[in-house]
Amino acid sequence: MSYLDKLIDWGTFRKRDAPIKVDIQSPQAEITTLIRKQQLSLSQEIQRTDRMRNDLVNILAQQMVFVAQLEKVLERNQPKEDSIRTFYKFYRSVNIIKKQMLEALQKAGFDNVDLQEKTFDEVADMVEVDGWRHSSQFTGEVVAEVTAPAVCYQGHLIRQGIVIMGAPLEQEASIQEEV
């Protein structure tokens, strides 16, 4: 027996349950776990910002459509005479704003695709056809009217255009015969 055995009476202590078992990880395992958590958090943030970017791109694509529609309205309502000075000044002001909007969007990488009078084969992948016009003025299937332009962002199509196609009269007759 040792000297300590005489000083301490081990019988005075009662037995207790051991605390909950704790898994102690190596520093390498702890760092790996932290890195995985950070990667998950980073991936979630990247997905969130990608969704926000896509939403922003869609909003700006819609703005390109509005600018194109504004441009058409201005072209149709351009004053013919200088006698209506107030209207002419209003037209000029709105036209300047339209040009500034268009410049800013183009500088950001957005662009409208010119669809007018292109053949169906040229625009088939870029448009949604809203209707057909049959007339002797058309020599083939071409875009007769652009309702909404196709919009590209950094050279990639992000929004299909909406068009009314034109076709010769003979095609209308042959289509009706097939039905």
At 5 the pLDDT is 60
At 120 the pLDDT is 92
Mean pLDDT, to the nearest integer, of 59-88?
A: 79
% pLDDT > 70, the chain: 89
Residue 142 burial (CB < 10 Å; 0-12/13-18/19+)?
buried
Rounded Cα distance between 128 and 150, Å, is: 9
Asked if the model's pLDDT at residue 60 lies above 80, the reply is yes
Rounded Cα distance between 83 and 75, Å, is: 18
Give the number of other Cβ atoms within 10 Å of residue 146's Cβ: 23
Q: What is the DSSP string of 36-90?
A: HHHHHHHHHHHHHHHHHHHHHHHHHHHHHHHHHHHHHHHHHT--S-TT-HHHHHH
Asked if the model's pLDDT at residue 170 lies above 90, the reply is no
Asked if the model's pLDDT at residue 163 lies above 60, the reply is yes
Mean pLDDT, to the nearest integer, of 155-173?
A: 85
Tell me, yes or no, whether 9 lies in a domain.
no
At 95 the pLDDT is 86
| Structural domain span for residue 126 | 33-178
Tell me, yes or no, whether 8 lies in a domain.
no
Tell me, yes or no, whether 22 lies in a domain.
no
Tell me, yes or no, whether 27 lies in a domain.
no
Instruction: Round the average pLDDT of the chain to a whole number and report it.
Output: 84
Of 22 and 179, more confident: 22
Asked if the model's pLDDT at residue 145 lies above 90, the reply is yes
Tell me, yes or no, whether 24 lies in a domain.
no
Please, what sign has the CA dihedral across residues 63, 113, 163, 157?
negative
Number of domains in the chain: 1
Tell me, yes or no, whether 95 lies in a domain.
yes
130-134, 158-162, 171-175: range with lowest mean pLDDT: 171-175
pTM of the model: 0.56
Asked if the model's pLDDT at residue 34 lies above 90, the reply is yes
Tell me, yes or no, whether 134 lies in a domain.
yes
Tell me, yes or no, whether 4 lies in a domain.
no
